[in-house]
Amino acid sequence: MRKTSLFLVVLFNTCLGTFAFGQQPARTHTSFNNAWRFHLGDVPNAQEVNMNDRGWRKLDLPHDWSIELPFDKDSPTGTGGGALRGGLGWYRKIFTMPTSARGKRVAITFDGIYCNSEVWINGRSLGKRPNGYISFQYELSEFLNYGNAINTIAVRVDNSQQPNSRWYSGSGIYRNVWLTVSDKTHITYNGVFITTPVVTDESAIVDARIIVQIPRGLKEMSANTTIYDAQGIKVAYQSSIVRPGPDEHTTFTHLLQVRKPRRWSNELPYLYRAVTRLSVNGKVLDEVSTGIGIRSFTFDIDKGFLLNGKKVKIRGVCMHHDLGCLGTAVDKSALRRQLQLLREMGCNGIRTSHNPPAPELLDLCDEMGFIVMNEAFDMWKKGKTKYDYSLDWDKWHKKDLVDFVERDRNHPSVFMWSVGNEVGEQWGEGNDSSGKKILRELVSIVKSTDPTRPTVTANNEVNPWSRLLNGNPADMIGYNYNHNSWDSVFYRWPRQPFIVTESVSSLTTRGHYDMPSDSIRRWPTRWDVPVQNANHDLTCSAYDNCSAPWGSTHEETLREFEKYDHISGMYIWTGFDYIGEPTPYPWPARSSYFGIIDLAGFPKDVYHMYQSAWTQKPVLHMFPHWNWKRGDEVDVWVYYNQADEVELFLNGKSYGRKRKSGDELHVMWRLPFEPGELKAVSWEKGVERLTRVTRTTSAPVKIILKQDNFTTGPDDLIFVRVSIVDNKGDVVPNADNLIQFDVEGATIAGVDNGSQSSLESFKGNKRKAYNGLSLVVLRPGKTSTGIKLKAISEGLSSSEIFFPTKR
C-alpha cells in the first residue's frame, strides 16, 4: 500500500458562476494506440532498441490476435476458450518526445494486456503484470530521449500456457493505451477519490480526497476543486493551501456543497464533473477531471435496494468481455450498442463477470444508468484451470485488488464489489477455514480503499456448512442459481441483504424451435456428463424450454424473482452469447448458448419476454416463423403486455383468445400447420391494441442492408444487419446464403451471423447467413468522404448502402 500523509487545508471560499475555458491544461492524456508493430511468436531480444522490426505487421491498438486465428479442434484452450489459440506475441512502437516534456513526468497506462506482459522502454524493463484484466501505469521519464532522438517501447505478451481461462480471453494489448504528461508535482495515478456522504433535496456534500506527489524543495502550493454541471456551469468551488509532509505523497481533502443537486439514478443518470487543479504562483502544474454522480443508496434486509430513497429492483445481466466478431479488442461504440440493446429490453444492471472490465464500459454505464456489480476474481488460491490466476494469487492479489478498486471507485454506476465467483474455497473439509480467512482479507483491502460500497461473493450452494456464508465477512449474501432454494437463504442468513449474483443459464439458439415446447429439457442431465439425445445440428430451442442442469429457463426464474420484494436484484447469465463455454455441446460448437441476445447482437425471442415484463413499451411478439411442413403441429408462443388477451388467426380463421394466467409470461396455441398468414392481435377492454403478422415465405430473392447501431462520432464502428428476404420483403427464416461484402471508404472489422457452431472466420469479407441474418461491421477510414457497402450472393439481387462520414 502507498504510504500517505494527511494534512489539514486552509479553506478559502465557495462560489458559483459560469464555466469558461481558459489556458491549455497542464496535463495531457492522449491516446497511444496508433502505429505499433506486431509479431506473433517469440523473438529473442525483441526489446532491444536496435532490433529490426521492419518486417513486422503494422497495426493500431486495441488488438486481439486470437480472434484472427482459425478455429482449431486441437487448441489447448479447448472449446471452453472458444477453440482459438493463444500463443506469444510482441508489440513495438517507435516515437519521439518533444524537448518541452523534459523535466516533466511522462507515464504510459495500459488499460489491459492479456496476459503475462512485460514492458520495456529503450531496452530497460519497466515491470511485469500477469493479470490480463488489470490496468496499470509505468513512469517513463528518466529513460526517455527528447527532441529528435528515437524512443522504442516494446511489450511481450505471453498467453501460451493453456488453458488459463474458462471462457474466451483473447490475446494481446486488447484495451487502450495512454500517454500522460504532467508536472513532477502532480496528482497521482488514480489519486482522486470522490464520494457524496450527504445527499438531500436541498444540498449535497461532495468529499474530494486527493493524493499528490510533491518533489522535495517545494514549500507550498495552491489546490482547488471545481464542480461543473452537465451544461458546464460552475456549481461549487473549494480551494486550499497544501504543504508537503515528510514523504513525497500528501493527501488533502476538499468538501464542496452542491445546492439543489440533480441526482444520478438508473432512470436519469445525471453527471457532474469535478476538476482539481494544482498551482504555484498562479501557474497551473496539474489538472485532473473526474466524472461524478450524486446519489445515495442502501441495500436493506427487508426492502431490497434503495437508490436515492426509492426502491429499485436490479434487473441485470452478466457480461463477459468479448465483443463477438471483434474479439476482446475494446471498442466503445460496440459496447454502446450492447448496452443500448439491453436498456431497450428493460435491463438496468451489469455484472462484470468475472474480472475487472474495460474503463469504457463503466463510463457508458455511468452515462446510461446501469447498476454495476464490479467483479475482481473468478478464483482465489484453488484454481479452476491448469494455468489460471491461482498460480499468481499469493504474489499479486493484493496489488491487483487495490489497483482495481482505486481505478473504478469514482464511477457512480458501481454499487458493489464482488471479490470472488464460485470460488473453490466455499467448500472445505474438516475445520478448513482458509476461504473465510482469504475473504476477510479481501474485504479489508476493499474497505481500506473504498469504504462506501458493500462487498459480496457469488456462491454456488446454500448449505449450513458453507465456508463463506457462515459468519460471512462480506456485507451481502450473493447466491448463484437454485431459484427454488431462495427461501433457504432468508432462513439461514436473515441478517444480511441478499442478491442473486447469477441466475438462469437457459440455452437457446436464435431461430431454432424444438417441439413440444411445453417439455422442459435440462442439457446435459448433470454438469459433469456429456449431453445425450440432443440436436445433431448443435442447436437449442428458442422457445425457452431448455437449460443447463444447474440452471432454469428464463420464465421459471423470472416468475420466482418477482415474488420477493427483499431480493435486491438479479444478474442473468447472460445478456449476450459469448465466445467459449458452448454448453451443452462439444466441438465444433465454440460459443455459448446462454445469451438473451446472440453473438452477432440479434435478440432472441426471449428478449421480448423481458421487454414485456420490464418496460412500458407496448409489446406483442409472436413466434416461431411460419415455414413448416403440412401436417406438422406447431406451438405458437406470444409475449405481450398492456393488453388483457391475445387472439390468434391463421389464414383469417380465429383460433380463439388467450390470456396469461397467474404469473405466466406467455400464452401458447398448438396448431396444425398450413402455409399462409399467421396473425396475432392483442386486445385491452375490447379495443384492439397491436397486430403482428408472420407469413410463409417463398424462396430467397434479395439482400437487405440496414444499419444496426447509432453512431455518435466519426470513428464509431458501423454495424450492418444483412437480411435475406423473399419477393415480399420477409426474412427467409432458414436462409443460409453465402454473402460477399465489398466496401469503399472503410475496412471490415468483423463478420458474424450468431451461429454457435459455425467455423467460419470472424475476419474476412464473406459470411453465410444464419436463419436469415448476417452481420458485417465496418471501421471508417481516416480520410474517407463516405462509405459504400455492397453485398453480393449468387442467385440473389445484390444490395448497396451508403454512409456519409461525420468528419
Which residues are part of the catalytic machinery?
422, 502
Calpha distance 570→317 (Å, rounded) = 8
User: Smallest Cα–Cα separation from 366: which of 374, 375, 355?
Assistant: 374
| Location of C-alpha cell 458474424 | 752
What is the C-alpha to C-alpha distance for residues 476 and 429, in angstroms, rounded to an integer?
A: 24
| DSSP-derived secondary structure letter, 602 | P
For residues 755 and 711, the answer to whether their CB atoms sit within 8 Å is no
User: SS3 breakdown of the chain: % helix, strand, coil, rounded to 5?
Assistant: 15, 40, 50
3 state SS of 569? strand
The answer for residues whose C-beta is within 8 angstroms of residue 679's C-beta and 6 or more apart is 648, 649, 650, 691, 692, 693, 694
Q: Which of 224, 230, 233 is nearest to 255 (CA)?
A: 224
Q: What CA–CA distance (Å, rounded) separates 63 from 59?
A: 8
Q: Check the CA dihedral 721-722-723-728 and report its sign.
A: positive
Residue 40, beta-bridge partner list: 89
The residue among 356, 361, 362, 267 whose CA lies nearest residue 315 is 267
Of 318, 204, 193, 346, the C-alpha closest to 270 is 204
Distance CA 536, CA 568 (A): 41
> Quick one: which of 463, 446, 464 has its CA closest to 455?
446
Of residues 606, 549, 547, the one with CA closest to residue 347: 606
Please tell me the distance from the alpha carbon of residue 517 to that of residue 514, in angstroms, as a whole number.
6
Q: Is the peptide bond before 253 cis (omega within 30 degrees of 0)?
A: no
In the chain, the amino acid numbered 601 is G
SS3 741: strand
Strand partners, 274: 227, 290
The beta strands (E) that lie in 376-430 are given as 414-421
Cβ atoms within 10 A of the Cβ of 494, count?
12
449 vs 80, 213, 438, CA distance in Å? 34, 18, 17
